[in-house]
Amino acid sequence: MDIPEKLSSLLARDSQSVAGVEKLRFFPLAVESGHGSHLIEVGGRKLLDFSSSWTAGGIGYGHPHVVDAISRASSNQPGAGGISAVHPYMVELAEKLLEITPGDADRRVYLGNSGTDANDVVLRSCQYATGRNRIITFSGSYHGGVGLAMGVSGVHVEAGAVASPVAAFIPFPDPYRPHTGHADTVVQDSLARLDTELAAGDVACVIVETIQSDGGIVIPPDGFLSGLRTACNKYGVILICDEVKVGLGRTGLMHAFDHESVVPDVVTFGKVLGGGLPLSAAVGPTSILDGPVASALLTTAGNPVTAAAGLAVLQVIESESLVSKSQVSGQTLLNSLKSHVSRLGVEASVGDIRGRGLTIGVDLVSDLATKSRNFDLAKRVAYRAWELGVVVYYVGGNVLEITPALTTQPVDLEVGAEIIARSIADAIDGQVTDEQIAPFVGW
Ligand SMILES: Cc1ncc(COP(=O)(O)O)c(C=O)c1O
């Protein structure tokens, strides 16, 4: 595909100005606007966004209710943060999060700027509250891009980042690529290893993604989350569920941990919560989140504009029944992906299509029997999908992460499913060159 001059010129300026440490690029994407589930590329091409900006645009771009809330809060702005002055937006948002998140009455809400800081603050608060240091986490996990949250993230550590010295990594139960060799023993094995770690003592908390996303859309078998709850209860250890990517309706229930009716001690939120603005939250016991006072200070945390956006997002999720819609749309999209993959005869490269609601993974393999990850094909498919008008990224090196906005229309879900299957066929057919994908490191 020929890249228009306006697009290539912006990309060239980006390469000379914006730091590489914050780039995770898959194809030459540069956008100038967005509406609902669509992005408008520099140059005017309309793209269907099947990532929703890694779910941060999870109710669509420019939702009128969110735009209205942001405009009202910013045109008459009560300060720029919440650390030294209270304002109604942050209190209302905290109250709303307490209402929709299960747990005891005696809880508080931390409001932050990103999923990373919510997890980081919570992990440190657990250490402080318990006087214990160790943190149990999982291989293939993702909890943040800097600091302690990064140091307990399996994907970063497995890619060479320095692990936090207090982190202990346990295999995450993956029924498709079982670390034990058998899908029916993964939960038991992970829980047995957890028990050993907890018995060794000095554990402040266990942090877990309810569905592992960056690790490759891994949906743990039933019994895992409830097993974590039981083990944490047995040893008096705090259970943190990281719902930053898949929470607030995306899996077809309000919280992904609801699929096992588990009640975590602490829940972290982010991405979709901000309606496209930087906003995160952690909900947990007062005994953990109330002290020490002034130990987690980000100047713009509790910002009135982002808090107003967060409230509007939660209202939209409720008023537009996005939780149940996500369940129905997700099932339709999953079926549609399977049927297009089969119609185009590319099943030999697609090891698995799995999902829960609008969190779907298409696992690309080199060999159906060995399930070996096809990293090269993933790069080419993502590139080809962009050429054909769909934005989709991959995780775990080879799994297409399909997480469209919860508001995506059925007709667009069908169009996107067809394009993704066609991109797989075209990529296998050699329609994406080595030169085209060479500049993109991917994930
Ligand atoms: C499960 C999970 N937790 C935390 C984070 C970090 O969120 P943020 O990038 O907003 O800091 C991410 C980001 O991808 C995530 O997927």
Give the model confidence (pLDDT) of 53-81 as tens digits: 999 999 999 999 999 999 999 999 999 99
Q: Do domains 5-62+321-437 and 65-319 have the same CATH topology?
A: no
CA distances to 99, 107, 164, 262, 283 from 104, in Å? 11, 7, 31, 13, 11
End-to-end C-alpha distance for the chain, whole angstroms: 23
Distance CA 281, CA 110 (A): 5
Residue 108 has pLDDT above 90, yes or no: yes
Residue 305 has pLDDT above 90, yes or no: yes
> What is the fold of 65-319?
Aspartate Aminotransferase; domain 2 (3.40.640)
Superfamily designation of domain 5-62+321-437: Aspartate Aminotransferase, domain 1 (3.90.1150.10)
> Residues 109, 273: contact at Cβ < 8 Å?
no
| Cα of 425 from ligand 1 centre, angstroms | 31
CA distances to 96, 117, 274, 318, 420 from 313, in Å? 11, 20, 7, 9, 29
Instruction: Give the model's pLDDT for residue 1.
Output: 82
Whether 156 is in the pocket of ligand 1, judged by its Cβ within 6 Å, is: no
Question: Residue 3 — pLDDT band, cuts 50, 70, 90?
Answer: confident
Identity of the amino acid at 104: D
Token pair for 175:
């029924």
Q: Mark out the alpha helices in 236-303 (DSSP H runs).
A: 286-289
Q: Which of 116, 359, 399 to mutate to test the pocket of ligand 1 (most atoms within 8 A of CB)?
A: 116
Identity of the amino acid at 312: A
Q: Which of 120, 123, 143, 207 to mutate to test the pocket of ligand 1 (most atoms within 8 A of CB)?
A: 143
Report helix angle 304-319 to 64-75, nearest 10.
160
| Cα of 158 from ligand 1 centre, angstroms | 17
Distance CA 364, CA 424 (A): 9
| DSSP-based three-state secondary structure for 417 | helix
Residue 442 has pLDDT above 90, yes or no: no
**Phi, psi (degrees; rounded to nearest 5) at 236:** 65, 40
Instruction: Give the model's pLDDT for residue 140.
Output: 98
Q: Which residues are bridge partners to 285 per DSSP?
A: 107
Omega before 178 cis (within 30°)?
no
| DSSP-based three-state secondary structure for 416 | helix
pLDDT tens for each residue of 232-257: 999 999 999 999 999 999 999 999 99
Using a pLDDT cut of 70, give the percent of the chain over it: 100
Distance CA 260, CA 109 (A): 23
Q: How many residues does the chain have?
A: 443
Q: What is the pTM of this model?
A: 0.97
> Residues 142, 214: contact at Cβ < 8 Å?
yes
Whether 89 is in the pocket of ligand 1, judged by its Cβ within 6 Å, is: no
Whether 247 is in the pocket of ligand 1, judged by its Cβ within 6 Å, is: no
Q: List the catalytic residues.
A: 142
Whether 213 is in the pocket of ligand 1, judged by its Cβ within 6 Å, is: yes
Residue 335 has pLDDT above 90, yes or no: yes
Q: Report the atom number in ligand 1 closest to the C-alpha of 56.
A: 10
The residue whose CA has the least distance to atom 8 of ligand 1 is 115
Whether 112 is in the pocket of ligand 1, judged by its Cβ within 6 Å, is: no
Residue 323 has pLDDT above 90, yes or no: yes
| Cα of 140 from ligand 1 centre, angstroms | 13
Closest CA to 334 of 373, 362, 371: 362
Whether 52 is in the pocket of ligand 1, judged by its Cβ within 6 Å, is: no
Token pair for 69:
């809330």
Distance CA 192, CA 198 (A): 10
Q: Report the atom number in ligand 1 closest to the C-alpha of 144.
A: 6
Whether 412 is in the pocket of ligand 1, judged by its Cβ within 6 Å, is: no
Distance CA 235, CA 307 (A): 36
At which residue do the structure tokens 């990103």 appear?
114
Instruction: Give the model's pLDDT for residue 36.
Output: 98
Q: Which of 142, 240, 243, 280 to mutate to test the pocket of ligand 1 (most atoms within 8 A of CB)?
A: 142
| Cα of 188 from ligand 1 centre, angstroms | 27
Q: Report the atom number in ligand 1 closest to the C-alpha of 141.
A: 1
pLDDT tens for each residue of 243-292: 999 999 999 999 999 999 999 999 999 999 999 999 999 999 999 999 89
Whether 242 is in the pocket of ligand 1, judged by its Cβ within 6 Å, is: yes
What is the DSSP code string of 314-354?
Answer: HHHHHHTTHHHHHHHHHHHHHHHHHHHHHHTT-GGGEEEEE
Distance CA 86, CA 143 (A): 28
Distance CA 59, CA 271 (A): 10
Q: Report the atom number in ligand 1 closest to the C-alpha of 271.
A: 10
pLDDT tens for each residue of 157-213: 999 999 999 999 999 999 999 999 999 999 999 999 999 999 999 999 999 999 999
Identity of the amino acid at 166: V
| Cα of 368 from ligand 1 centre, angstroms | 31
Instruction: Give the model's pLDDT for residue 443.
Output: 82
pLDDT tens for each residue of 23-56: 999 999 999 999 999 999 999 999 999 999 999 9
Average pLDDT over residues 364-389: 98
Closest CA to 378 of 327, 339, 420, 329: 420
| Cα of 124 from ligand 1 centre, angstroms | 17
Q: Which of 24, 245, 266, 279 to mutate to test the pocket of ligand 1 (most atoms within 8 A of CB)?
A: 245
Domain boundaries, the chain: 5-62+321-437, 65-319
